[in-house]
Structure 1
């Protein structure tokens, strides 16, 4: 009788790329998958991601690539293992921000007939409902904000619910359903010699302002970004806190009470 030997992710990498692993260094992040930088003895450098949703991530990266953006290059996808090409990144400069603005404009020009995505997704324990909705306010309320209400501190819950009831008057009913990165903050952009490279997507189709609001939540893009992307839609500033509210609520669930103040502030900015 022959015993079956389990193939580890290391074995899989070595078999696929034909070179032994010389070193592995764990990378920060890991809400969705275990992430590491892998160097092979032949000099190849990879990012390995291991988890149940890596196939979904690979399909999202491909959608963005086909739409014209520079994204992390998929080198291997097998079951629960995704291998991406390693990218050497620098601090962003004006050219890098301009590259990102142009890339984001390009993917936002790729549109769909409905809001949402063909697959649901998750940030760790936070499930992301990507099912289609009839209107954009319905999507933002039912698929984004309301599912987080039970996990919010008590005083914040009725304020989120009040905002959701007002969304038909606060958000456009049928904006273009643009392809979104879905989790666009500075840590998910690599500024490389070939331009801005987007990583770690959580794609779906929705109002393009969602990506712009997220990008401004934890930092301020340089003016070159806006110059390349183009002018904001009328009244975008009034919608920004509504769109920033969802990532703030997700951060509260993932990282704790220190984000409750951010949720409270954004609700105030949204007028509730």
Structure 2
């Protein structure tokens, strides 16, 4: 069935025009104008229903904490996720400052536990969202670091894996002061921010109850626009614990491991550098 037909069947409104945008990982992206005039975005994934249902669940869950910060899910089934089309504009200091404030508000809306009540996904990989009562350092080590070590081992080598195991063994002394669970995006690199004329909208989450420093570290990993303004208004709204800058590498270690698993040895040096930086603060 074509994307045009699928959209019409899923939404109950015919699609007048569909533009194919690009392919990423195991899915394709499309823009469509519906017969009722709505402009929508569709992600289509064959045999990847878990990706679509996890994204839809994460968006709905994040909207509980900040309704305007993520798009509303229009429809989802085993092959397609449909969202409103978001008009794009260059990021500005003003929209970055608004993002910092709204992100702080989102994080303050605690889900009450680490994890999430649905199986997670990040890109094509499973993400263990098992809800746990352990403090965040143990949850992070067991759910976000350890599961990726076997798959990263061919690229990191024995010495690299041992370095990461040392991070896990010393996680209690490296993680900083306790924090309550925060409602976080979970994969907040710059490509998952859609800058619109009046605000930033967060897309494609790996949402879960986690540590708020994780989202901020992810913003820094690949360089979000106007990051200094995002951090400044975040701090004004909900100040971070002392020493948060020294823990950035700890929170970046999970996405770096994911990149090693997905893309191989190109991320080896950066991953091991992050692990070395983390251990140096212990």
**TM-score when scaled to structure 1?**
0.89
Looking at structure 2, the residues matched to 78 and 220 of structure 1 have their Cα atoms a distance apart, in angstroms, of: 32
Contact 1:88–1:192 (CA under 8 A) maintained in structure 2: yes
Q: Report what 2:229 is aligned to.
A: 224
Contact 1:136–1:172 (CA under 8 A) maintained in structure 2: no
- Determine which of 52, 55, 58 is the counterpart of 2:56: 58
- Determine which of 157, 178, 203 is the counterpart of 2:207: 203
Contact 2:95–2:198 (CA under 8 A) maintained in structure 1: no
Matched, 1:11 2:5: yes
3-state secondary structure, aligned to 1:117: coil
Q: Report what 2:167 is aligned to.
A: 163
Q: How far is the alpha carbon of 1:210 from its aligned partner? A: 0.5
Indicate the RMSD between aligned Cα atoms, in angstroms.
2.0
3-state secondary structure, aligned to 1:256: helix
Q: Report what 2:270 is aligned to.
A: 262
Contact 1:112–1:179 (CA under 8 A) maintained in structure 2: yes
Contact 2:13–2:35 (CA under 8 A) maintained in structure 1: no
Q: How far is the alpha carbon of 1:12 from its aligned partner? A: 2.8
Matched, 1:141 2:149: no
Q: How far is the alpha carbon of 1:22 from its aligned partner? A: 1.9
Cα gap change, 1:238 to 1:207, in 2 (>3 Å) = same
3-state secondary structure, aligned to 2:74: strand
Matched, 1:27 2:22: yes
Which segment drifts farther, 122-131 or 255-264? 122-131
Matched, 1:39 2:39: no
CA deviation vs aligned residue, 1:55-114 (integer Å, no higher than 9, x gap): 221121112122124212322223332111111111211011012111211110111322
* Structure 1 or 2: more helix by fraction: 2
Which segment drifts farther, 48-57 or 208-217? 48-57
Cα gap change, 1:220 to 1:43, in 2 (>3 Å) = closer
Q: How far is the alpha carbon of 1:255 from its aligned partner? A: 1.8
**TM-score when scaled to structure 2?**
0.86
Looking at structure 1, the residues matched to 26 and 182 of structure 2 have their Cα atoms a distance apart, in angstroms, of: 24
CA deviation vs aligned residue, 1:3-54 (integer Å, no higher than 9, x gap): xxxx6543231242523442321335x3364322223466532211123131
The gaps in structure 1 that reach 5 residues or longer are: 1-6
Contact 1:185–1:215 (CA under 8 A) maintained in structure 2: yes
The gaps in structure 2 that reach 5 residues or longer are: none
Which segment drifts farther, 43-52 or 145-154? 43-52
Contact 2:177–2:241 (CA under 8 A) maintained in structure 1: no
- Determine which of 233, 237, 243 is the counterpart of 1:235: 243
Looking at structure 1, the residues matched to 206 and 96 of structure 2 have their Cα atoms a distance apart, in angstroms, of: 21
